[in-house]
Structure 1
């Protein structure tokens, strides 16, 4: 797990805004190369873990991003992008040698621990459990959950939550958006996720704010991605401005 406060304790030349802008750009790159979603999540995990232990200058932040993407693609993809291609997408800002040197640095600082659970790892099981109760809109629910979970990557403050909790909170919010008058949680979801509604309260509130107000005009990639027909335009779904407090109350035995 990355540190939850590396911006305050380790980094002095970059900000949470710069991190979010880099991730937004990486979303565009992964879409352009049609990489699997797991590659994006791993890339962000590697970046945050590296930034937790190694101070970096802002002019090398994009270099870190493409190097982590290279490692994640090698781990997840059948045909990962070539180093030269990743240099090209940075408009030639970095050479092949610089990318390879940064790749070696990341692998060294992360001690070659590349197999890590991201929130995407938990989504399949959690979404499947939720779809049992939403048979009429299973695909819509899946796309909406994935949209919410990808938005979470932009939010530095969400690093304090476990990936499994972020995944469960994404399911909670998606089910609320689709059926605002119905309690989005039940005993079966608690069983499969191991989280009660009260456990999800803080994380859901942050995700709800992200969904309603968006990450900002400077970070359009995820919103535009999920505004496409192939994702059922889920980014354009209406979300009620408030979530009833009683939805976060745990069921009494």
Structure 2
């Protein structure tokens, strides 16, 4: 009976992890994930052909806020990507006004936390993060709306689901695997804020994030995999063409470089009078150590 036990350990507030389960890295699980991910693709043309009042920059601003809320609450790493997936899929089938976008993001955080978080968000706390511009009644009402329009199929396959199967198949030490996982999780979150990456399969985003993490860390560890060998191995694991993996990985590296460059510029004021909300790679690739969600004031910019 011992193999049926789940040995858990508390890591930090609101998080709890179990010991690694070998079955989750099996070939069968990987193949199931690759087959199921097609069900949760985002309609890449919903901004151009469907949504008339919401623009990509508004999505980026709201997802930045959603990420900061998750960081502030020490959520598990897969809560934020799942919330963004639910938001994109909803926007693919329901037209919204720009003033409703933060409400949708809040609802998606609530749903994702219920599925992937040990202790889910409370409606009251999420409303507090919006400076009470969203009421609990609206939040609960829209929760049913989002569930119904997504046909209650919200436990989507996200890039985080591929990390363990990928890392298990790469010739990395346990310490190297731990470092790679941490960096890859941050890159996946960064990709979630960029609409371009929502058009890629989760397996590609995960593989490219792992590739970018390994390449970044390998600059300090000569014994790690070369770029060519790494892409070849990731191709054999996922079946994704090497050129596609290379292109996606390069896009991630460009995004990281851009965010680092913007974080090093002098601190400027946003139109709301608060500091600009730049995504920065610091403190193990996360947000600034003392940062707090600057919304809802920051998100209100999408109303204008």
Which TM class, normalised by the smaller chain length? 0.7 to 0.9
CA distance in 1, matches of 2:46, 2:121: 29
The aligned runs of 1:1-253 (5 Å cut-off) are: 1-130=41-170, 132-133=171-172, 137-179=176-218, 182-183=226-227, 185=230, 187-214=232-259, 218-221=276-279, 223=280, 227-228=282-283, 231=284
Q: Tell me if the contact between 1:148 and 1:207 (Cα under 8 Å) persists in the aligned partners.
A: yes
Q: Of Structure 1 and Structure 2, which has the larger fraction of its residues in helix?
A: 1
SS at match of 2:157: coil
Aligned-partner Cα distance in 1 for 2:82–2:286: 24
Structure 2 segments unaligned to the other structure (5+ residues)? 1-40, 264-275, 289-304
| Corresponding residue pairs, total | 229
> For 1:173 and 1:25, how far apart are their aligned partners in 2?
25
Cα drift, residue 10 of structure 1: 1.3
Question: Deviation per CA, 1:111-150, whole angstroms, max 9, x where unpaired?
Answer: 00012100111112212333x2355633322222122221
Runs of 4+ in 1 over 4 A off after TM superposition: 215-219, 233-236
Aligned-partner Cα distance in 1 for 2:242–2:287? 24
RMSD of aligned Cα (Å):
2.3
Q: Deviations over 1:82-138 (max 9, x none)?
A: 1111111100101111111111111111000012100111112212333x2355633
2:3 is aligned to none
The TM-score normalised by the length of structure 2 is: 0.69
Q: Distance in 1 between matches of 2:51 and 2:85?
A: 16
- Distance in structure 2 (CA, Å) of the matches to 1:110 and 1:59: 21
